[in-house]
Structure 1
């Protein structure tokens, strides 16, 4: 399993229970255990590969937690996205590029919300803006694999490089 550096803020069970009560939902136990242990957090460099023609993979940059700084706070992120993502979904983490991973509170499905659909049609609030990632939070965590960008370059060799002569002069001048 991928390593996740826990949040510096301790999980607040009372705040979380109030959040569930305000929403009228109960989060899946596996997700609650994750929050109790990490309260959000930052995963090591990772990749989640999808069986999709549109988005082939993504990388999680941070998980949301309870009472974290606003940008990583579960409740704040819900308030930010509740009118933008399909109903029944709660944003649980952010990925590179600005998309959001959501947990469906009705069935536990984990989906990637593609924010670009808003750019195409501002009225899009259908499930078309969601790409299924996993059937559960536990399955989602198991799909996160460590990623080394150097691995992608193993089969490539630089054959030729062109540098603008004026830029090269600037580089040489900066060294002096």
Structure 2
């Protein structure tokens, strides 16, 4: 069972409509349900997940893992999104939903492409040729992402 501290104010369905309209996106129901219960926050127990990443310079794959430092509160998402998109670090419609203890972001893709509703790890230490952060798909959905998190005491 996922327990979070320092969560934001309690949300309702209307809370999402305002943010969705502002960002021109629509959140998936599994993410909305999570946020209705928690509205972000920091995990009480350490959470981690593993994935493969490709170095853009060498084109070699390597095993990587990350943790969840915090899930973003809904009210903070527009500012985080605007900062990352305006700095051209991430593409439009990739919504920052969490971060790790090293400053990397977890993004929810909401661009209606084949990656719609997939979860990506945004590595701030690896950039592509255009100086965008390298994005690595880590889960097919938010629910899948929650299922791959490993909890440690």
Under TM normalisation by the shorter chain, which class is it? 0.7 to 0.9
- The alignment of Structure 1 onto Structure 2 pairs a total of residues equal to 139
Matched residue, 1:75 = 78
Give the aligned CA root-mean-square deviation in angstroms.
2.1
Deviations 1:39-94 (A, max 9, x none): 01111211111134445110000001123xxxxx1122112212311222111001
Match of 2:108 in 1: 103
| Runs of at least 5 residues in structure 1 that lack an aligned partner in the other structure | 68-72, 149-176
Could you list the structure 1 runs, at least 4 aligned residues long, displaced by more than 4 angstroms after superposition: none
Computing the radius of gyration from Cα coordinates, the structure with the larger value is 1
What is the aligned partner in structure 2 of residue 58 from structure 1?
66
Question: What is the rounded CA distance, in whole Å, between the counterparts of 2:8 and 2:25 in structure 1?
Answer: 26
Whole-angstrom distance in 1 between the partners of 2:26 and 2:120: 18
TM-score for the superposition, normalised by structure 2: 0.80
Q: Judge which range, 137-146 or 18-27, deviates more.
A: 18-27
- Name the structure 2 match of 1:85: 90
Query: Could you list the per-position Cα deviations for residues 90-112 of structure 1 after superposition, in whole angstroms to 9, with x for gaps in the alignment?
Result: 11001121100000003100000
**Higher helix residue share:** 1
Match of 1:153 in 2: none
Return the alpha-carbon distance in structure 2 between the equivalents of residues 55 and 15 of structure 1.
38
TM-score calculated relative to the size of structure 1 = 0.70
CA distance in 1 between partners of 2:39 and 2:8 (Å): 8
Local SS of the residue matching 2:30: helix
Q: Which runs of 5+ in 2 are unaligned?
A: 54-60
